[in-house]
Amino acid sequence: MEKRSYAWFEKRRRTKALDLAQDQITKAIDTVTLLHQAMRSVSEGKRKEATQSIETLFKVEEEVDRLRTEVFMELSKGAALFADYREDLLHLVKRLDTLADHVKDAARCIEMLGDTPIPKEFAENTVRMTSLLVDCSYALKGSIEKLNVNPQEAIQGAQKVEEIEHEIDQYYLKTKAAFVKFGPQINAGVMVIFDDLIEFIEQAADMCADTADYIVILSNRE
């Protein structure tokens, strides 16, 4: 009876930690959505709206950090009964935090570009990348939400993340290739910042895919 009761408390602890992780991915998605809004505003010449989205993004990213700490504290209370699961969940929340970090870094690049004009092709490709990153993060969220209720659907969601990440990578390479075409027309400093911008977006997509790999591991344990 005592052992069964102990197992119940461990299950409850695990569920609470997973709930916090789900809150974290919601906030992480908010940062991605705000990044897309900012980039779209820039492409439309709406600098004030872009600045507002970036400022909100920075605040939400701080919430992602806070939730990561809460998950760590919750998991630190667990015992060896679910040590393997705890380790994988720690990896999961670390990656969600890193995802938001990459998004924040991309937003900083947009902030640094200020009112500097960029080629239309660059802007359109980057808006498409951030739009796909929103889709990628929502697919990731859906996969995490299925962990406790339908592990097989969680795995399918993880596969969807991989598919979208591949599409983002194609736009990333397409934009990189355009650097040769537009290089002579753009200030070297602007080119460096813009290169960092799409690099951080691509890294955020990679982190979504990396996180999806851990979802598959957790789903198989379920």
pLDDT digits (tens, 9 = 90+) for 70-101: 888 877 775 544 566 677 778 888 888 999 99
Domain at 2-221, CATH homologous superfamily: Phosphate transport system protein phou homolog 2; domain 2 (1.20.58.220)
Backbone phi and psi for residue 45, each to the nearest 5 degrees, phi listed first: 75, 20
Tens of pLDDT, residues 110-168: 999 988 888 889 999 999 999 999 999 999 989 888 877 888 898 999 999 999 999 99
Name the DSSP letter for residue 82. G
Q: Helices in the chain by DSSP H: which ranges?
A: 2-43, 47-76, 83-113, 120-145, 151-182, 188-221
**pTM metric for this prediction:** 0.86
Entry field: residues in the chain = 222
